[in-house]
Amino acid sequence: MCGRYASSRKPEDLVEEFEVVDSRIRQPLEADYNVAPTKEVYAVMERKPSRDSEEEPQRQLRSLRWGLVPSWAKDPSIGNRMINARMETVAEKPAFRRAFAARRCLLPADGYFEWYPTSQKTKAGKPRKQPFFIRPTDGRVLAMAGLYEIWRDPTRDEEDPERFRWTCTVLTTQAEDAVGHIHDRMPLMVERERWAAWLDPSSATTDDLLPLLVPAAPGRLEAFPVAPLVSNVRNNGPELVEPIPLEEALA
């Protein structure tokens, strides 16, 4: 799964990187080195300028809450359990299939965290888990495949600007060999040449979409141990993604 990641790039940098033409960011998000579910995150998508517009969809940058709430949900707290969608079943699951067909996005990240169980034991007798940070070897942005939904809050008035909640989820797949020894799942990356096809809001068949999602090529990602500070969501800062010696991590 993908349960934590880092996102420190400024919106203007993401606008340039993803060739965004319509930024909907009114208040930039703070650099976040410990992004956790329910936090606001940046997302790149393609939408028409307005519902009634006859213009072609434009590439937008928005902030969404991590944890997808399906449009039919009665209770938005369901989003707390919808932080990941498995590639193998996303086209069939009721919570994700509509978004997979027409509401796909990219979630920019510096990298993501996974925890590896070591031979060391906690006071409770369980294996101590060592966090690792996994990022592109070239230092560029990690474009994670995502889905988004727009949930209408029935308790709010028609004129209330907060009546719509925009949420998202990260697609995951079987981890590639280079990082599979840390965790068996990983977020799906979308390579630059496939961004346009993935973001195209036109309804598409599963046969059209699934080939766009492939595991990272060998050597594309690197993983290194980091301090256990990241395990506490209240901790934040660039020190969370600084590598520590492997012998220290396993000591």
Q: Is 2 a catalytic residue?
A: yes
Going by C-beta distance under 8 Å and a sequence separation of 6 or more, which residues neighbour residue 223? Answer: 114, 132, 133, 134, 178, 179, 182
Q: Is 162 a catalytic residue?
A: no
8 A C-beta contact, residue 186 and residue 2: yes
Token pair of 27 as six digits = 């208040």
Over its C-alpha atoms, the chain yields an Rg (Å, rounded) of 18
Q: Using alpha carbons, select from 74, 5, 16, 70 the residue that is nearest to residue 236.
A: 5
Residue among 2, 46, 149, 168 flagged as catalytic: 2
CA pair distance 216, 176, nearest whole angstrom = 7
8 A C-beta contact, residue 183 and residue 82: no
CA pair distance 42, 64, nearest whole angstrom = 6
Residue among 105, 114, 149, 168 flagged as catalytic: 114
Question: What are residue 61's DSSP bridge partners?
Answer: 23, 44
CA separation (Å) from 248 to 30, 47, 68, 180, 243?
30, 48, 37, 21, 10
b/e sequence 183-211, b meaning 16+ C-beta within 10 Å? bebbbbbbeeebbeebbbeeebeeeebee
Task: Please state, as a whole number, how many other Cβ atoms lie within 10 Å of the Cβ of residue 12.
Answer: 13
CA separation (Å) from 52 to 62, 209, 241?
20, 27, 44
Indicate which residues carry an active-site annotation.
2, 114
